Amino acid sequence: MALIGLLLFVVALQPQLLIEAFNPVTTNLPIIGLSLVLLNNLKTQPNSELAK
């Protein structure tokens, strides 16, 4: 949720950053996606060490 808030902050105050290389969108969206995959895997494997 915090990453989405930061993205909205950048859109409001410095939109030119969104068209540059390594902008917040291209760096944060993959991190958010990988986090969702990890959370999904933790839910489907309740006996794993990370889920405890």
Q: What is the pLDDT of residues 1-52, one digit of tens each?
A: 787 888 788 889 988 888 887 776 778 788 889 999 998 888 887 665 655 5
Q: State the Cα–Cα distance between residues 29 and 3, nearest whole angstrom.
A: 9
pLDDT given at position 37: 93
Q: Is residue 30 part of a domain?
A: yes
pLDDT given at position 49: 62
Domain with 23 in it: 2-44
Q: Is residue 52 part of a domain?
A: no
Q: Is residue 22 part of a domain?
A: yes
Q: Is residue 50 part of a domain?
A: no
Q: Is residue 12 part of a domain?
A: yes
Is the pTM for the entire model greater than 0.75? no
Q: State the Cα–Cα distance between residues 12 and 14, nearest whole angstrom.
A: 6
Two structure tokens written together for 35: 């986090």
Total domains in the chain come to: 1
